[in-house]
């Protein structure tokens, strides 16, 4: 400012033969427009795609746009306080407040198709009121469904209630009663019962309804459903070609590797090798993530996080030998027995995690949930499909075997799983009972002998004794479990 006013503005301009500062004050200053009422807001522009759910994604938040533009590319302008959406002709079609949390959805009701509006306005009270109006079986099923994570299950509850419009409320009530009689309250089960008209058939020999609602196991196939990540548009000229070759993941490290190649003077072959290594590592990590999600193991339960020092009686060398997953390749079983709290479930999930790392398909569930899920297949005629879900993985982990009574037809279902997997796939089973006590769980000596003979044949056994890890710091003595390993 000092240079403009005292030096440049006071010199005689060669073209206009006037001092620029004097010319500005006499002629130009009066023509200037006033400053805007609010300061200029710096913004970011990005090319985005409107997905089928009527949302675009920006910085892990979701913003709605008119459903008529689904599938089209839009321009997104993100400021400090607002996010605006423009069509290809740069006409503004939506404006939202900027999201304040990851995963937040900013929705304008007018942007959604009419069929989606009722689902968006659905809430827990409305679901329960509609269910009560249909009947007690539907009401009980909706209550069990919304008992855990109601925010995540409201859409499922809404779809279930809308079955009444398609099949009549009376049939929906009968289908819910049938599903509950078999111990399965899943939406897919109720829908299949109605589509196959099984609600109009008499019940065969239902399993006694549990006294309290349960969270039912799902099939491995349901856990395989993963959302596809949308592309953000070409970042380099090579992007379309890499995408066509399904190598777009190389773009994540391409710039870094390019800078390294320039700085360290890599050869073309070395540069290509490094990019290929990055792509292989990325794909291996993606496959591992997918296997862990399908397995439904707790990713925090690993051997690295297991406290071997707490219980020195655990055969650490045997556990590390099992971690090689050689038993999966040999199709042998593993049995982990011991009292409550000694780390059986942690070790079972950790061994499942190690098997996933080595490329094996794994499924983790409790024995009780598996039997409930299999019996639910009798309600909608999907027993064979559900059974196949437990036969397909190379390693099936059954936790807490014998913790709850096995009610008919549970023993027959358990025998089917053990028999079909015998010498075809591995079973890792954890129990707080010794194998000698498993026979009485079947209530059928012949069936128990046939199932356990296959289960115990050539199996690795790991017996754990000691105090409960969760009992640390208690002042009263721990009561011994029903059994202790010898």
Over residues 88-108, the mean pLDDT reads 90
Residue of 410, 480, 483, 478 whose CA lies nearest to 442: 410
18-to-1, 4, 274, 343 alpha-carbon distances in Å: 19, 15, 64, 90
* Of 413 and 207, more confident: 413
**pLDDT at residue 220, rounded to an integer:** 31
- Burial class from Cβ neighbours inside 10 Å (0-12, 13-18, 19+) for residue 81 reads exposed
Beta partners for residue 112, in sequence order: none
Rounded to 5 degrees, φ, ψ at 137 are -65, -45
In the predicted structure, residue 163 carries a pLDDT above the cut 70: yes
Q: Ranked by mean pLDDT, which of 159-168, 207-216, 384-393 comes out on top?
A: 384-393
* Percentage of the chain exceeding pLDDT 90: 44
Token readout for 181 is 């009689």
- CB of 217 closer than 8 Å to CB of 372: yes
CA distance 106 to 99: 7
248 Cβ contact partners less than 8 Å away, ≥ 6 residues apart: 231, 239, 242
Residue 222 banded pLDDT, cuts 50, 70, 90: very low
Output the pTM of the full model.
0.58
Q: Could you tell me the strand order of the sheet in which 73-78 lies?
A: 44-49, 73-78, 82-86, 92-97
**pLDDT at residue 210, rounded to an integer:** 43
Instruction: Please give the full DSSP string across 132-171, using - where no structure is assigned.
Output: HHH-HHHHHHHHHHTTS-HHHHHHHHHHHHHHHHHH-HHH
Rounded to 5 degrees, φ, ψ at 362 are -130, 150
**pLDDT at residue 387, rounded to an integer:** 95
CA distance 486 to 484: 6
Q: Is 21 helix (H, G, I), strand (E, B) or coil?
A: helix
Residue 423 banded pLDDT, cuts 50, 70, 90: very high
Instruction: Characterize the bridge pairing of strands 460-463 and 334-337.
Output: parallel
**pLDDT at residue 271, rounded to an integer:** 87
Token readout for 244 is 């066509």
**pLDDT at residue 331, rounded to an integer:** 95
- Burial class from Cβ neighbours inside 10 Å (0-12, 13-18, 19+) for residue 447 reads middle
CA distance 394 to 354: 13
Token readout for 149 is 């994570």
What would the pLDDT profile of 76-88 be if each residue is shown by its tens digit? 999 988 999 999 8
In the predicted structure, residue 340 carries a pLDDT above the cut 80: yes
Beta partners for residue 49, in sequence order: 73
What would the pLDDT profile of 367-418 be if each residue is shown by its tens digit? 999 999 999 999 888 999 999 999 999 999 999 999 999 999 999 999 999 9
End-to-end Cα spacing for the chain:
90
Peptide bond into 328 cis (omega under 30): no
In the predicted structure, residue 294 carries a pLDDT above the cut 50: yes
Largest CA distance in the chain: 115
CA distance 104 to 412: 47
């Amino acid at each position: 400012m000092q240079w403009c006013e005292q030096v440049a503005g006071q010199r005689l301009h060669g073209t206009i033969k006037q001092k620029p500062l004097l010319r500005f004050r006499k002629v130009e200053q009066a023509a200037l427009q006033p400053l805007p009422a609010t300061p200029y807001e710096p913004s970011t522009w990005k090319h985005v795609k409107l997905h089928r759910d009527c949302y675009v994604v920006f910085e892990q938040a979701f913003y709605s746009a008119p459903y008529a533009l689904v599938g089209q590319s839009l321009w997104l302008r993100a400021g400090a306080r607002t996010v605006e959406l423009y069509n290809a002709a740069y006409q503004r079609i939506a404006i939202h407040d900027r999201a304040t949390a990851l995963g937040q959805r900013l929705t304008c009701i007018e942007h959604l198709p009419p069929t989606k509006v009722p689902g968006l306005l659905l809430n827990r009270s409305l679901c329960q009121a509609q269910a009560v109006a249909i009947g007690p079986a539907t009401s009980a099923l909706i209550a069990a469904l919304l008992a855990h994570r109601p925010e995540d299950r409201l859409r499922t509850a809404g779809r279930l209630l809308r079955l009444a419009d398609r099949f009549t409320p009376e049939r929906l009530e009968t289908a819910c009663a049938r599903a509950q009689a078999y111990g399965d309250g899943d939406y897919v089960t109720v829908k299949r019962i109605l589509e196959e008209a099984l609600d109009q058939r008499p019940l065969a020999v239902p399993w006694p309804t549990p006294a309290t609602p349960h969270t039912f196991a799902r099939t491995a196939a349901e856990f395989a459903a993963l959302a596809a990540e949308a592309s953000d548009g070409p970042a380099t000229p090579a992007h379309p070609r890499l995408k066509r070759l399904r190598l777009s993941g190389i773009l994540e490290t391409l710039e870094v590797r390019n800078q390294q190649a320039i700085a360290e003077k890599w050869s073309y072959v070395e540069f290509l090798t490094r990019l290929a290594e990055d792509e292989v590592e990325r794909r291996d990590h993606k496959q591992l993530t997918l296997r862990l999600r399908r397995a439904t193991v707790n990713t925090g339960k690993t051997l690295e996080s297991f406290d071997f020092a707490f219980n020195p009686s655990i055969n650490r060398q045997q556990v590390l030998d099992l971690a090689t997953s050689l038993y999966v390749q040999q199709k042998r079983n593993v049995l982990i027995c011991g009292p409550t709290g000694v780390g059986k479930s942690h070790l079972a999930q950790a061994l499942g995690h190690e098997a996933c790392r080595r490329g094996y398909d794994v499924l983790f569930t409790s024995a009780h949930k598996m039997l409930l899920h299999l019996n639910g297949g009798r309600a909608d005629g999907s027993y064979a499909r559900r059974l196949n879900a437990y036969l397909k993985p190379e390693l099936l982990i059954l936790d807490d075997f014998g913790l709850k009574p096995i009610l008919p037809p549970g023993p027959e279902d358990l025998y089917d799983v053990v028999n079909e997997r015998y010498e075809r796939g591995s079973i890792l089973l954890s129990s707080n009972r010794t194998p000698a006590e498993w026979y009485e769980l079947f209530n059928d000596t012949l069936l128990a002998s046939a199932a356990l003979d296959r289960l115990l044949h050539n199996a690795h056994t790991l017996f754990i004794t000691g105090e409960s890890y969760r009992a640390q710091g208690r002042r009263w003595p721990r009561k011994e479990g029903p059994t202790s390993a010898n």
